Structures are given as structure tokens and as C-alpha cells.
């Protein structure tokens, strides 16, 4: 069955935001975008969790969205993170993304204030009704503090431009409930669960590890998509430790920025309260990168 957001099937990459001397490094950013275009990535997702959006100022957030859309120039889809725990702020950022030429909006569930299920529904409904962009609901209760239940997502699926879910609950049952009750495009929000989720009907991933090995994640998605699960399993096993390190050594995006620094693709600079890997963690990351064949 064709899903509502089928144009976003495959690999989307949650881009890091490069910093240098405390400021956004737009030249490094341009190189990251061109790297993803050359790899054949379906979509890039700036200013999300991996993009350190909580520590960007509002003007920086808006400038990054505009910059990424400008550089992408319709050569790759752009789905920026525009969510907020304030409905009015999420709607304002969504309109900024729409005006900049984004292809979709990544809407994290409101965090900290822990809405009721009706509150979640009204939040996403207001944004969907006041924006023409396809909406991707980003459900990550480990960060937001509360789950958007499958029944709420099924209600939201009735809205024409709610088309996707970034599924980061870690629950195959939750993903299956959404897939059984809607025709939304489900995208994995955890790299290491991409294959299990695609096996039950997900259509791809919004990936952290894709910042460094996009072509390998594309190979996994394409193998699963054509039903070649032996080939997909081979890629899953190759990628697994790298994926685990990206989320297991420290809070995202600390490890991915460290990996990109080691590989000469980023300064590795973070904004507080994010802090660099400890020496023993960096040593583990170097071992993993070496074992993978990247060093």
C-alpha cells in the first residue's frame, strides 16, 4: 500500500549543526549538504535533536532553515525541525520553513509541559490546518516526557497533510499499531531499529549515522524495500555497533560530532550544556570507526 508520505521513503539524515568559535559554520554546513546530495540521500533534516536546536537562538534557527533550503535548491528534500512546546511558536517556525521553501515540517511532540492526548491532538491539528506543508510527527517520549499514543496518531492521520511519523519510542508494538490503523509513512527514529521497523512496514529512517555513512544506510533501506532481507540483515549487522555508539556512548549529538571530527568533517564543537566525549569514550569510538573501515 502506498503511504501518505511515500516521497520521503528511504534515507533522511538528521544533520548536525557545525559550529566554529561559538558561531554556526555555514561553509562546513554547505559541505555537509553537498555530501548528502552526492550520496543520493532522500531528505535532510536540519535543526532537530542532532542539530542542537535547543541551543540555537530563534534568529539562528530561522537562518539555518533558510540556508539549508537555499543550498539544497530542490536537489534534495528538506524537512527542518520546527516543533516547540508552545503551539504558537511551532506554528511560527513552520511558517518560516514554508516561506523558505522547505518540503515538509518535522514536529517534535510538545516537551516538558506534558499535554494530555487531547492537547497533543489540538497542537498538531492547529499546525496542520494553518500550514500547507506535509507534517511529520516526531514522537520521542524519552526526551519529551510523554508518549503520543497510537490512537492519537490515528486521529491525526485523518488530517490531509499529516503524512509521516518519526517513530522513536523504541516500541515495535507502537509502530505496528500505527501501521495497522493508518496509511502514514513511518520512519524509524533509531538507526539500529531501521530494519526491524521496515520489516513491519516502516518506509525508512531519519538517521544520525547517515551523517557519516549515508550510502550504507541507503543500501540497507533499499534491500529491505525490495524484500531482500538477507542483504538488509548483512547491512544491519555491519552498521549495528556504529549505530549503538552514536546513541550509546553519550547523548546525541555528542558522539556523531566526535566521529565527524575524527573523520575530518566537522570541528566537533558543541554548545553547552553538551560537552565532549570523555577520553575513554573517544577511544571506544575510534576503535569502532576503525573496525568499520572508516579509519
What band does 1 get if pLDDT is binned at 50, 70 and 90? low
When pLDDT is averaged across residues 123-152 and rounded to a whole number, the result is 98
To the nearest whole number, what is the mean pLDDT of the chain? 98
Q: How far apart are CA 268 and CA 16, in angstroms?
A: 10
Q: What is the signed CA dihedral for 126, 183, 105, 210, rounded to 10 degrees?
A: 150
pTM here is 0.97
What band does 29 get if pLDDT is binned at 50, 70 and 90? very high
Give the count of alpha carbons within 13 A of 261, CB side only: 18
- 84-99 tens-digit pLDDT: 999 999 999 999 999 9
Please check whether residue 195 is in contact with residue 16, taking contact to mean a CB–CB distance below 8 angstroms: no
pLDDT of residue 218: 98
CATH no. of 8-228: 3.20.20.70
When pLDDT is averaged across residues 48-56 and rounded to a whole number, the result is 97
What band does 231 get if pLDDT is binned at 50, 70 and 90? very high
When pLDDT is averaged across residues 170-195 and rounded to a whole number, the result is 98
Q: What is the signed CA dihedral for 105, 97, 34, 290, rounded to 10 degrees?
A: -50
Catalytic residue set: 138, 166
pLDDT of residue 181: 98
- 251-270 tens-digit pLDDT: 999 999 999 999 999 999 99
How far is CA 248 from each of CA 9, 49, 59, 96, 276, rounded to the nearest angstrom?
A: 26, 15, 32, 34, 14
Q: How far apart are CA 54 and CA 35, in angstroms?
A: 25
Give Cβ neighbours of residue 287 (< 8 Å, ≥ 6 apart): none
- Grid cell 559550529 is found at 19
Give the count of alpha carbons within 13 A of 273, CB side only: 2
pLDDT of residue 272: 98
* Per-residue DSSP letter, 277: P
Amino acid at each position: 500500500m502506498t503511504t501518505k508520505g511515500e516521497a520521503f521513503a528511504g534515507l533522511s539524515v538528521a544533520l548536525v549543526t557545525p559550529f566554529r568559535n561559538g558561531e554556526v559554520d555555514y561553509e562546513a554546513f554547505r559541505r555537509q549538504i553537498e555530501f548528502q546530495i552526492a550520496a543520493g540521500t532522500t531528505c535532510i533534516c536540519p535543526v532537530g535533536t542532532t542539530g542542537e536546536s535547543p541551543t540555537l537562538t530563534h534568529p539562528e534557527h530561522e537562518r539555518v532553515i533558510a540556508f539549508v533550503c537555499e543550498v539544497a535548491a530542490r536537489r534534495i528534500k528538506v524537512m527542518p525541525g520546527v516543533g516547540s512546546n508552545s503551539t504558537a511558536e511551532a506554528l511560527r517556525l513552520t511558517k518560516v520553513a514554508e516561506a523558505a521553501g522547505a518540503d515538509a515540517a518535522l514536529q517534535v511532540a510538545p516537551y516538558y509541559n506534558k499535554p494530555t492526548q487531547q492537547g497533543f491532538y489540538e497542537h498538531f491539528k492547529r499546525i496542520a490546518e494553518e500550514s500547507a506543508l506535509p507534517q511529520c510527527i516526531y514522537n520521542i517520549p524519552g526526551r519529551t516526557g510523554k508518549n503520543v499514543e497510537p490512537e492519537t496518531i490515528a486521529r491525526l492521520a485523518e488530517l490531509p497533510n499529516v503524512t509521516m511519523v518519526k517513530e522513536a519510542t523504541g516500541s515495535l508494538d507502537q509502530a505496528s499499531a500505527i501501521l495497522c490503523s493508518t496509511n502514514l509513512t513511518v520512519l524509524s527514529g533509531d538507526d539500529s531499529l531501521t530494519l526491524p521497523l521496515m520489516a513491519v512496514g516502516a518506509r525508512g529512517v531519519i538517521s544520525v549515522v547517515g551523517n557519516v555513512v549515508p550510502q550504507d544506510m541507503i543500501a540497507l533501506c533499499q534491500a529491505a524495500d525490495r524484500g531482500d532481507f538477507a542483504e538488509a540483515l548483512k547491512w544491519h549487522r555491519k552498521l549495528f555497533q556504529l549505530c549503538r555508539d552514536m546513541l550509546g556512548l553519550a547523548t546525541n549529538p555528542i558522539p556523531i560530532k566526535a566521529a565527524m571530527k575524527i573523520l575530518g568533517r566537522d570541528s566537533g564543537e558543541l554548545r553547552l550544556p553538551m560537552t565532549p566525549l570523555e577520553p575513554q569514550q573517544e577511544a571506544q569510538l575510534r576503535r569502532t570507526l576503525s573496525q568499520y573501515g572508516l579509519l
